Amino acid sequence: MNQRVVFRFWMEVLFLCFLAAIPSRAQVANMPLRSDVDDVAEAKAKGRGITRLTNQAAIDMVQPGDVLVVDLFGKKVNGTIVGDNLFYYLAKAAHAAGLVVDGSIRDLDGISEIEMPAYYRHADPTPIGNVMLTGINIPIRIGNTTVMPGDLVVGDREGVYFIPPQFVKSVLDQADEIHIHDEWTKKKFAEGKYKSSEIYPSPSDPKLQQEYKEYLKKELEEIAKKRKAQ
């Protein structure tokens, strides 16, 4: 896929399951603690009715279907955004769709029993500390990727993808073609009549090229029909 459109970041995968394309409406930025800056931020937060400006305040803002995406600048020790209690809250009370954190989580035994996908940089037993919340629902950095509020988040065993909403259709169309190509390739391999180079990455024989074009057209039409019926 076009790297200008789909931004990929690899993390540890807590559950081997698929994190569907969900808007990342809840994004949290953190930086190493600097008391003079933190004091000003805390004062402004209190003026807006927020008692304490912490990551838990951001967690309480999560809406059903949100993916909580947290920039903790890769921090391991004292970089734990949630343990099993707050993870349970996100899954069961806030009805979040998932968690992505460039930092740590803790209480893996408890978290592993909760059915919500999570992607994380580290696991560590320490509580969160020596960090300050610097923004909620602002552009953040996850690894080497800039993530914007409203980006769609897709996760699989290989990592996490952030897709700008204006590119979702083109990305889905390209993904459909790749899936169909892979499906056709495996079918031809299963026939046992061809060398791999005759089929992959693209068929060399004109007849096979035409066969693939017809197969692609048919499958894309079927996908379009199914989506239209939904």
Q: How confident is the model at residue 22 (pLDDT cuts 50, 70, 90)?
A: low
> What average pLDDT score do residues 75-103 get?
96
Q: How confident is the model at residue 15 (pLDDT cuts 50, 70, 90)?
A: very low
Whether 147 has a pLDDT exceeding 80, the answer reads: yes
In a domain? residue 208: yes
> What average pLDDT score do residues 129-137 get?
93
Residues 67 and 139 occupy one common structural domain? yes
In a domain? residue 1: no
Residues 86 and 174 occupy one common structural domain? no
> Tens digits of per-residue pLDDT, 56-65?
988 999 999 9
Contacts of residue 121, Cβ cutoff 8 Å, sequence gap at least 6: 11, 12, 72, 74, 76, 101, 102, 103, 104
What is the structure's pLDDT at 25? 59
H or E element in which residue 119 lies: strand 118-123
d(CA 23, CA 155): 12
Question: Taking the model in full, what pTM does it have?
Answer: 0.83
Domain count across the chain:
2
Tokens of 184: 């056709």
Cα distances (angstroms) measured from residue 114 to each of 70, 87, 124, 217, 226:
19, 8, 18, 42, 32
Which residue segment(s) compose the domain that 79 sits in? 7-163
- Domain stop point among 163, 193, 219: 163
| Cα 161–chain centre separation | 5
Domain holding 123: CATH number? 3.50.30.40
Residues 137 and 58 occupy one common structural domain? yes
What is the structure's pLDDT at 132? 94
> Tens digits of per-residue pLDDT, 101-131?
999 999 999 999 999 999 999 999 999 999 9
Q: How confident is the model at residue 168 (pLDDT cuts 50, 70, 90)?
A: confident
Residues 154 and 180 occupy one common structural domain? no
In a domain? residue 2: no
* Residue listed under structure tokens 């953190």: 30
In a domain? residue 148: yes
Residues 19 and 106 occupy one common structural domain? yes
Whether 24 has a pLDDT exceeding 80, the answer reads: no
Residues 49 and 116 occupy one common structural domain? yes
Residues 124 and 210 occupy one common structural domain? no
